[in-house]
Amino acid sequence: MIHRPVTRRRLLAGAAAACGASLIPARAHARGSVTAAMYPGTWEEAYRTHVAPALKKAHDVDLEMTPLFAVDQIAKAQAARGAPPFDAFVLDPGPRVTAIERGLFERFDAKRLAALAQLPKDATDEWGVTVAAQVVGIAYNPKKVPRPKAWTDLLKDPWVSRLGMTGFQTTYGTVSIIEISRQLGGSETNVEPFFTEIRKVLPKIAAIGAPASMPSLFQQGQCDITYTNTQTVATLRGRDVDVEFVTPESGAVAFFTTMHIAKGSRAADNAYKYFDTVVSAPVQAALMQPPNNLIPVNRGVKLAAGLPMTSLDEMASFVRHDWSKINPLRAGWIERFNKEVAK
Amino acid sequence: MTAPAAAGALGVPRRPGGAGPWAEWQLALPLALAYAAFFLVPLLLLIAISAFDDETLTTVGFAQWRKFLGDPFYWKVILDTVKLGFYTVVATTLIGYPIALVYLGAGPRWQRVILFVVILPLLTSVVVRTFAWIVILGREGVINQAVLWLGLAPAPLRLLQTEHGLVMALTQIEMPLLLLPLLSVMSRVDPNLADASAALGASRWRTLFRVTLPLSLPGLLAGCMLVFASSTTAFISQFTIGGNRLVYLPLLIWQQSLVVYNWPLASVAALTLLVSVSLGVVAIAAIGRRAQAYAS
């Protein structure tokens, strides 16, 4: 047997070959996988636990997830210019409209979903499929402040001095501020009344925080009332935090989280299988259970107690917004919010 | 295997006259290429993107620069960002330098302990450290509980989402960046010099200001520059602890690039941050040179 000494040159050549090999694109698509962008945190954990095994079992497709917030998905897809880093988007209504305007989706054929008959009529369109609903209202700590009734209570004593708020960066923040404005005489496109009112009470407000830190701020008692979605309330309750969800007198706000196929995706077939698995009744029911607390869109799922409605049809009466009108104004609102609330 | 063969296998070219400057260049080449590809090119892209008027990058112009630099609000944001870095540098220096002196006077075993404690925060994620500060600074947090228990204030103090609360948190978060260069320079200072100073009749304070401080100045300066650059750009800490009440340049960059997709304005803010941090670092270096000239 001939011993060949391991020289540095051979070692480098070997290492270079190994690195080079890793650059050759893995032919994962051919073997049945789909890469989905996924909201980090609760969503990602829930999908790993429930959707990935179900997809593997039903279609022998592997689910690979890239944790990204909605805005980051748009930024990544846009920067990639036609070679999307993932096959499927998961988006809130604002970013969804932006993505449609920027041509980031493939056309969607709802008839390819086996579960189509169990979905509400407006759950699919030419761009994608609704996979979860979100209901936004007021969350408060019943041990610290009285029960609020209306959106405008947030800006009144005794609530305002315990109020924690976020700006227009998130969907739930934006729709809540729009609702406050509407009660003060504004509209979907006019949040001026909110800014007028907020200027008067600004020094009293307990916290104006980063969206990601709001649950922590509530848990730590930094604020005792805030606008948020039912999912956050359920998650906080799961951590033994004293928190109640209130539907404001003018109605709770509903919006929908949708999924879409990225333009240029080479795994569109698997993406349809993925969507079909996500909206199937057993998976939707599992995603609704704590600690996931996602509101289902499949009529075959009985809604959990603690939600502000007993059936999906009731959501038709909830307040909805037109994001194609909101999006163009949002940059200006964010800038205005910075200027108004910054010290 | 013979010795020359081994040398050949190690790939060292044997050139007459030894290695010239070109050999050193070759060594630096991989880093230079990586630097060009991953810093210089993106920087040029950033500059290019900032020279568009609209979000879809179709019209060339300087509208975003005019908007940014013509608005007093953004000037205040720039000033606040630099001020935050300055306060953090002052606070880390005031607390960190005495720790370094303790380190200098300690035995080898304690030096290892101090070094470990200094490095410890670097071993946890900045997200964890920042969220821990929410618990510490909060209305029902450790500090406020102590203040109320001691009867120092009738109601909980507002610490979260204030500049001084943020500086407190950043002081702890950035402390290793000050201490590591400072300790490495200080441990190389000859301890006999302090003894000699004492033998010549200098008081401890005089020895500190005329001997120890000037000799440790290069380390202190390096630490200050790192703390300044790191605290002015610490987006997670600034946003999580400062919230929306305190607006700094990194928050603007995030909002403009990832929330409203106005990349030209985001580029303008990013370049402004780059320039103001660089100016801060240059200023620290200049102060250091002055101080060194004065001390010697």
Within 10 angstroms of residue A244's Cβ, the number of other Cβ atoms is 15
The token pair that represents B197 in the structure block: 């100073």
The predicted model gives A70-91 an average pLDDT of: 89
Give me the pLDDT at residue B126, please.
82
Label residue A40 by pLDDT band (50, 70, 90). confident
As a whole number, mean pLDDT of residues A69-77 equals: 87
Tokens 């988006």 belong to residue: A91
| Interchain CB distance below 8 Å, B138 and A72 | no
Here the ipTM equals 0.81
Contact call for B261 and A209, based on CB within 8 A? no
CA–CA separation, B93 and B174 (whole Å): 11
What pLDDT, on a 0 to 100 scale, did the predictor assign at position A28?
43
Q: Of the candidates B243, B252, B260, which has its C-beta nearest A330's C-beta? A: B260
Mean pLDDT (chain A) is 89
Residue B2: pLDDT band by 50, 70, 90 thresholds? very low
Q: How many residues does chain B have?
A: 296
Q: Cis bond leading into A158, ω under 30°?
A: yes
Ordered alpha helix ranges (H), chain A:
8-23, 42-46, 52-59, 70-80, 93-101, 171-183, 192-201, 214-219, 230-238, 268-279, 281-288, 323-341
8 Å CB contact between A174 and A336: no
Token pair, residue A157, equals: 């004593």
| Strand (E) or helix (H) holding A63 | strand A62-67
Cα separation, A72 vs A282, whole angstroms: 30
Higher pLDDT, B247 or A41: B247
* More confident of the two residues B15 and B257: B257
Question: Is A272 within 8 Å of A124 (Cβ atoms)?
Answer: no
What is the enclosing helix (H) or strand (E) of B78? helix B72-105
- Tokens found for residue A135: 């209901």
A262 HSE (CA, 13 A, CB side): 27
Beta-carbon contacts of residue A162 (< 8 Å; ≥ 6 apart): A141, A144, A145, A206, A223, A224, A225
Give the C-alpha separation, A315 to A137, whole Å: 13
Residues 6+ apart with CB under 8 A from B24: none
pLDDT digits (tens, 9 = 90+) for B81-123: 999 999 999 999 999 999 999 998 888 899 999 989 888 888 8
Q: Which of B160, B247, B252 sits opposite A207 (nearest CB)?
A: B160
Name every chain A residue with its beta carbon within 8 A of the beta carbon of B244: 166-167, 208-210, 337-338, 341-342
User: What are the pLDDT digits (tens) for A265-300?
Assistant: 999 999 999 999 999 999 999 999 988 889 999 999
Is any Cβ of chain B less than 8 angstroms from the Cβ of A207? Answer: yes
| pLDDT beyond 70 at B19 | no
pLDDT digits (tens, 9 = 90+) for B32-76: 999 999 999 999 999 999 999 988 888 999 999 999 999 999 999
Question: Residue A133: left if φ>0, alpha if ψ -120 to 50, beta else—which one?
Answer: beta
**Is some CB atom of chain B closer than 8 A to the CB atom of A8?**
yes
Which residues in chain B have their CB less than 8 angstroms from residue A67's CB? none
Q: Would you call B240 and A337 a contact, using CB atoms and an 8 Å cutoff?
A: no
In contact, B241 and B137? CB cutoff 8 Å: yes
* CA distances for B136 relative to A63, B120, B142, B160, B168, angstroms: 40, 18, 5, 9, 11
- Per the prediction, chain B carries an average pLDDT of 88
CB atoms within 10 A of CB A241: 16
Distances (CA, A) of B145 to A287, B132, B230: 39, 16, 31
The 10s digit of each residue's pLDDT in A44-55 is 999 999 999 999
Residue A325: pLDDT above 90? yes
Q: Which of B9, B140, B259 sits opposite A7 (nearest CB)?
A: B9
CB contact under 8 A, A75 and B247: no
Higher pLDDT, B296 or B85: B85
Q: Do B259 and A334 touch (CB under 8 A)?
A: yes
Q: What is the pLDDT of residue A307?
A: 86
Contacts of A69 in chain B (CB under 8 A): 258
pLDDT higher than threshold 80 for residue B79: yes
- Cα–Cα distance between A242 and A143 in angstroms, integer? 7
> Regarding beta strands A88-91 and A253-261, do their DSSP bridges make them parallel or antiparallel, or are they unpaired?
antiparallel
Cβ within 8 Å, pair B244-A213: no
Whole-structure pTM value: 0.83
Query: A-chain residues within 8 Å CB-CB of B9?
Result: 5, 7-9
Q: What's the pLDDT at A81? A: 77
Cβ-contact A298, A280 below 8 angstroms = yes
* Nearest residue of A to residue B239, measured between CA atoms: A210
Query: What is the reported pLDDT for A8?
Result: 59
Question: Does the pLDDT value for residue A196 go beyond 70?
Answer: yes
Question: pLDDT tens, B212-246?
Answer: 888 999 999 999 999 999 999 999 999 989 888 89
Q: Is A220 on the interface with B (CB under 8 A)?
A: yes
**Residue range A160-195, pLDDT digits in tens:** 999 999 999 888 999 999 999 999 999 999 999 999
The b/e string for A205-217 (b: 16+ C-beta within 10 A; e otherwise) is bbbbbbbbbbbbb
Q: Please check the confidence at residue A1 and state whether its pLDDT lies above 50.
A: no
